[in-house]
Chain A
């Protein structure tokens, strides 16, 4: 139970130090007779040493000291008592009146020196009251100065840069040095974790390790600390009472001040102080402790804010350094203000090397003139796209391609305050893109390769067979010619034996000359046809692939169609008959022949597949019809198939990249998307289609005839 402050503050404890029992008794009577407002308790000791011991054990408000003690030969001996008794009044008593000596006693530390013989109740009372009053004034002043000192130290600590837990520990030690009566040099600071209503011990001094373990986490409401946190009120106890729930074995008796650390009604933590058992609670202690708690609240709040700031900062830097883009901040004076890790890695320059320097003077092997022009354009015109590409050379000499994005910094008034460059190394990406395009091209050529091999192997087979036949036939005919020659020779000599004629007839029969005469011209013709076919295919392949031509040239579209059809013959011939209806004297079209041929091939292959899908393995042949005409300023190519048509739900996606209706592995879904890009983006043309389910599809390519030629 808390003690009643008023009840105890009226008791005055007086220590009588006198080795003369009579005089001590006299003094005691005098004290008791004294008409004091307060109740007076006293104790008598005979020696200075006893007095020193007594005041170290028990609190006294006043000492009445006999100057004739055996162990106190001179007035200076009072010093030890004065030092130990701090500001409490000491009244020296003399058995004989000696004003000179009295002055010496007062000079050495006594508050008053009285001549016992002259002393009466009234004068004693006056003296005592005066001494006590003065004592209180002094001790208040002293206490205030000590408390101020503690609070100042705390505040100055709070400004120091040190980890939170170390800071709290330092604070705790300062608090424990405060002049609080009965305070033991033992204590802890627990900080609340408001999320789950828990106190975490962050600092402690001279605590039993077992207790530290036990009180590492304290729930709100649990034990004295938890109660202080929950109620927000100081908990005081002068002994280990039932509220003291957390206990360890062999815990020595003690009391507590548990002070909640509050900020705007929030409990930030508690300060736990240990008191000697039986300590009486005092108002001024409470005031002091509240001051300490307020200071601690400031410290904890600041630390928390700092933590949050540090965390935010840490998160920001982590975010920035994990960015795979280069970030370069440039201030209004064109100096580098920010340079992230990626920038350091790619440009091989550390932030220290470049920060604060003008960006134009950075030792980077890039075309700064071009870059700064682009930046200028972007900053001055918000409508322009904010990204552009630029090359730069790494220190190892390898060329990289950068994609640079410019974001202006504007202050609140819209005034430009520098800009931010977000730079990406897009070398690999661009390379990949071009490889994909190449692979796409190779794929369409690869599709053809097997077919072209077949187209060439077939004529070579029959050319070979026919030539072998001609070789054998020539052997046979040569023999007949020889025989005929002999016969002619003999005819010249008019000496023909009929057997010889029969033999020749037999020979002619044997080699079947009639057959040979009939077959040889055909065989030669087919051989020539075969050679022609190989030549046609090879020429078509050459025309189709158009090596080297990357720029728009005037192109004969009819011829382009013919060679594409030839190259793709093996793709369509098993599914369709293909007819061409090409407008004679079609104007030449400015285009890049390679890509246009790829578009034609793509659409023809799709047409063949559409027909194959429809006829299945029935052996029927569908139709592919290709027409060209010039209309106004357009060259119009129509490629029609009698295939299955494009289903309605697919029609809107025909030109989407990666869209395919073919089974997995059959098509990449890139063909028509790429074709669209080639015709529309590269040639300012149009690519469209008309389709009817079950009837077929017509793709229409329109290319401008009067285009630019670069």
Chain B
């Protein structure tokens, strides 16, 4: 993956001077990549963000006056493109809940510089491929993705029923890509202190537990209901997008199973398959006119989807989706698979990975629905390079099973 050569400007906010000077010193090794600013209050952070372009804010949670959550809220409003990270020693639930909306990621003190760096690098990944800063803003400004109304309503009633088992909630969440990704963002944030990546929404739900899920769903509203009427483009249907995504996800999982991948990677395949087209949703939702224009370009001029998307948005839907997932702290292999699912040959180190599987699964599913076959052709050369071409027949038969 490519990272920008431009220096990113990162703003650190903490009321404790010693923390700031400690960070300044330990991050000194990155002074060539990053331009780092240190301020000791929320108010000062806001005025810095007014004065100069900021790429990311890393803030303490509890500070006199404006606290971290309030600061990030204001930043999200006024400077939506900014990557927002909390670095806090506070561990009470109430405070953390407040940041679920405005923060992209949550880190606990003490936090090693390397972790901090890795978090920033992943959040910045693909940022420069997005081209237009408008896209960056709209993606990092998003707090939730819309869910299917039927699933959303079912979840709300399920979560209010005292007899519900948390695993049932998890299974319901797993039916909806938007809920899945938001739940995973939460559970993978440092607050829950797991130290490992969770890709399975059922596990995620039971790790969060009812006590946390309930306020998250009911009062904080981490999930949103999709409203087709508000969408001004008629070319987009969430139902068919999610139906397709679920199919790709389940095929990817089966292929991974067949190939004997390890458990976490199998879950990554399922997740990446479910989420691979999430960029389409982001684009259709935020730039509906451009989206309609792009769809007509596809039909009229027989242009490839990738080039049409680059022409109109300056980035592919894969990049757009991947940027959000990276920003929300989802696993690297998932981010990569989503980013390059239509352009697998761009993979930096060509290995058999969730990307390989999601690309193939997506292409195979598209082949079944003939009219869209052109948009996501199978990259046989790429499979050949990995020596996986001979597996294709087996995968094809898995596809037939799923489609039937």
Docked-complex contact B19 and A464, CB < 8 angstroms: no
Mask of B108-128 contacts with A, CB within 8 angstroms, 1/0: 111111000000000000000
Docked-complex contact B89 and A454, CB < 8 angstroms: yes
Which residues of chain B (71-103) have a CB below 8 Å from chain A? 88-92
Interface band, chain B: 20 to 34
Docked-complex contact A461 and B62, CB < 8 angstroms: no
Q: Is A523 an interface residue (CB 8 A)?
A: yes
Quote the shortest CB–CB distance from B260 to chain A (angstroms): 40
Docked-complex contact A468 and B113, CB < 8 angstroms: yes
Given A453-B89, A459-B18, A529-B18, A465 and B29 contact (CB-CB distance below 8 Å): no
Docked-complex contact B22 and A466, CB < 8 angstroms: yes
CA distance A619 to B65 in the complex (A): 3
Q: Is A542 an interface residue (CB 8 A)?
A: no
Given A454-B89, A457-B108, A468-B26, A462 and B18 contact (CB-CB distance below 8 Å): yes
CA distance A621 to B19 in the complex (A): 21
Q: Is B25 an interface residue (CB 8 A)?
A: yes
Docked-complex contact A618 and B19, CB < 8 angstroms: no
Given A454-B90, A457-B89, A526-B22, A465 and B113 contact (CB-CB distance below 8 Å): yes
Given A454-B89, A469-B28, A461 and B63 contact (CB-CB distance below 8 Å): no
Q: Taking CB as reference atom, which chain A residue is nearest B63?
A: A574
Docked-complex contact A526 and B18, CB < 8 angstroms: yes
CA distance A575 to B112 in the complex (A): 30
Q: Is A195 an interface residue (CB 8 A)?
A: no
Docked-complex contact B64 and A457, CB < 8 angstroms: no
Q: Is B23 an interface residue (CB 8 A)?
A: yes
Which residues of chain A (530-572) have a CB below 8 Å from chain B? 530, 570
Residues of B within 8 A of A477 (CB): none
Docked-complex contact B89 and A458, CB < 8 angstroms: yes
CA distance A267 to B75 in the complex (A): 95
Docked-complex contact A466 and B89, CB < 8 angstroms: no
Quote the shortest CB–CB distance from B46 to chain A (angstroms): 12
CA distance A461 to B23 in the complex (A): 9
Q: Is B66 an interface residue (CB 8 A)?
A: yes
Docked-complex contact B25 and A469, CB < 8 angstroms: yes
Docked-complex contact B25 and A619, CB < 8 angstroms: no
CA distance A472 to B25 in the complex (A): 10
Residues of B within 8 A of A462 (CB): 16, 18-19, 21-23
Q: Is A695 an interface residue (CB 8 A)?
A: no
Q: Taking CB as reference atom, which chain A residue is nearest B95?
A: A450
Docked-complex contact B28 and A621, CB < 8 angstroms: no
Q: Taking CB as reference atom, which chain A residue is nearest B116?
A: A465
Docked-complex contact A465 and B62, CB < 8 angstroms: no
Docked-complex contact B29 and A461, CB < 8 angstroms: no
Quote the shortest CB–CB distance from B362 to chain A (angstroms): 43
Docked-complex contact A465 and B89, CB < 8 angstroms: no
> Interface size (A, Cβ < 8 Å)?
33
Given A460-B110, A621-B64, A523 and B25 contact (CB-CB distance below 8 Å): yes
Given A450-B92, A466-B26, A519-B25, A457 and B110 contact (CB-CB distance below 8 Å): yes
Mask of A658-685 contacts with B, CB within 8 angstroms, 1/0: 0000000000000000000000000000
Residues of A within 8 A of B110 (CB): 457, 460-461, 464
Quote the shortest CB–CB distance from A402 to chain B (angstroms): 40
Q: Taking CB as reference atom, which chain B residue is nearest A450?
A: B92
Quote the shortest CB–CB distance from B238 to chain A (angstroms): 39
Which residues of chain B (1-45) have a CB below 8 Å from chain A? 16, 18-19, 21-23, 25-26, 28-29, 43
Tell me the dominant secondary structure on chain A's binding face. Answer: helix
Which residues of chain A (427-459) have a CB below 8 Å from chain B? 450, 453-459
Quote the shortest CB–CB distance from B243 to chain A (angstroms): 44
Q: Is A617 an interface residue (CB 8 A)?
A: yes
Docked-complex contact B64 and A574, CB < 8 angstroms: yes
Residues of A within 8 A of B63 (CB): 574
Docked-complex contact A465 and B22, CB < 8 angstroms: yes
Residues of A within 8 A of B22 (CB): 461-466, 469, 526
Cβ contact of A457, chosen from B43, B70, B109, cutoff 8 A: B109
Which residues of chain B (133-165) have a CB below 8 Å from chain A? none
Residues of B within 8 A of A39 (CB): none
Q: Taking CB as reference atom, which chain B residue is nearest A618?
A: B65
Given A458-B16, A526-B18, A617-B65, A453 and B25 contact (CB-CB distance below 8 Å): no
Docked-complex contact B65 and A453, CB < 8 angstroms: no
Docked-complex contact A454 and B91, CB < 8 angstroms: yes
CA distance A144 to B239 in the complex (A): 109
Residues of A within 8 A of B70 (CB): 617
Docked-complex contact A472 and B28, CB < 8 angstroms: yes
Max chain A C-beta neighbours (<10 A), residue from B26, B88, B113: B26
Docked-complex contact B90 and A450, CB < 8 angstroms: yes
Docked-complex contact B66 and A619, CB < 8 angstroms: yes
Cβ contact of B109, chosen from A458, A523, A620, cutoff 8 A: A458
Residues of B within 8 A of A243 (CB): none
CA distance A620 to B70 in the complex (A): 16
CA distance A314 to B91 in the complex (A): 63
Residues of B within 8 A of A526 (CB): 18, 21-22
Residues of B within 8 A of A313 (CB): none
Mask of A592-604 contacts with B, CB within 8 angstroms, 1/0: 0000000000000
Q: Is A522 an interface residue (CB 8 A)?
A: yes
Docked-complex contact A464 and B112, CB < 8 angstroms: yes
Quote the shortest CB–CB distance from A197 to chain B (angstroms): 56
Quote the shortest CB–CB distance from A373 to chain B (angstroms): 54
Mask of A253-291 contacts with B, CB within 8 angstroms, 1/0: 000000000000000000000000000000000000000
Q: Taking CB as reference atom, which chain B residue is nearest A573?
A: B64
Quote the shortest CB–CB distance from B34 to chain A (angstroms): 15
Q: Taking CB as reference atom, which chain B residue is nearest A459?
A: B18
Q: Taking CB as reference atom, which chain A residue is nearest B65?
A: A619
Q: Taking CB as reference atom, which chain A residue is nearest B23?
A: A465
Max chain A C-beta neighbours (<10 A), residue from B29, B66, B109: B109
A to B CB contacts below 8 Å, 28 in the list: A450-B91, A450-B92, A453-B90, A454-B109, A455-B89, A457-B108, A457-B109, A460-B109, A462-B18, A464-B26, A465-B22, A465-B25, A466-B21, A466-B22, A466-B26, A468-B26, A468-B113, A472-B26, A472-B28, A519-B25, A522-B21, A526-B18, A530-B18, A573-B64, A574-B62, A619-B64, A619-B65, A621-B64
Given contact pairs A468-B112, A472-B28, A472-B29, enumerate 4 new A-B contacts (beta carbons under 8 Å). Answer: A464-B112, A465-B113, A469-B28, A574-B63
Which residues of A are at the interface with B, using a C-beta cutoff of 8 A?
450, 453-466, 468-469, 472, 519, 522-523, 526, 529-530, 570, 573-575, 617-621
